[in-house]
């Protein structure tokens, strides 16, 4: 099972292939994708990388979180799984639309 990482703070010039090359330094990369705006095709400044093992994912977080890549400082953390809840809503309770 692949272990997904959230990568924030990407340069708008960083490609998915460049992301793969960088994170391959920490281990096996299953996939790498820079998230783009669906209307303009321009990078939204973040992406996701799936590492082959939990150990490689942890190594990638330690190696790249706070490091500069393509002129920008990265924020690297383990991505929340889709069913884990949480998210960035910033509060407890409340109504979800």
Q: Does residue 51 fall inside a structural domain?
A: yes
48-62 residue pLDDT tens: 999 999 999 999 999
pLDDT of amino acid 86: 47
Residues of the domain holding 52 = 3-78
Q: Does residue 92 fall inside a structural domain?
A: no
Q: What is the 3-state secondary structure (H, E, C) of the chain?
A: CCEEEEEECCCCCCCHHHHHHHHHHHCCEEEEEEEECCCCCCEEEEEEEEECCHHHHHHHHHHHCCCEECCEECEEEECCCCCCCCCCCCCCCCCCC
16-40 residue pLDDT tens: 999 999 999 999 999 999 999 999 9
Q: What is the CATH number of the domain that holds 67?
A: 3.30.70.330
Q: Is the pLDDT of residue 44 over 80?
A: yes
pLDDT of amino acid 2: 77
59-89 residue pLDDT tens: 999 999 999 999 999 999 999 765 544 444 4
């Amino acid at each position: 099972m692949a272990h997904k990482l959230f990568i924030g703070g990407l340069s708008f010039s960083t490609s998915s292939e460049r992301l793969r090359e960088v994170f391959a330094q920490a281990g096996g990369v299953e996939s790498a994708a820079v998230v783009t705006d669906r209307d303009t095709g321009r990078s939204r400044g973040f992406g996701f990388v799936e590492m082959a093992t939990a150990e490689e994912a942890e190594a990638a977080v330690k190696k790249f979180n706070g490091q500069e890549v393509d002129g920008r400082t990265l924020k690297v953390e383990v991505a929340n799984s889709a069913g884990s809840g949480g998210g960035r809503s910033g509060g407890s309770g409340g109504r979800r639309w």
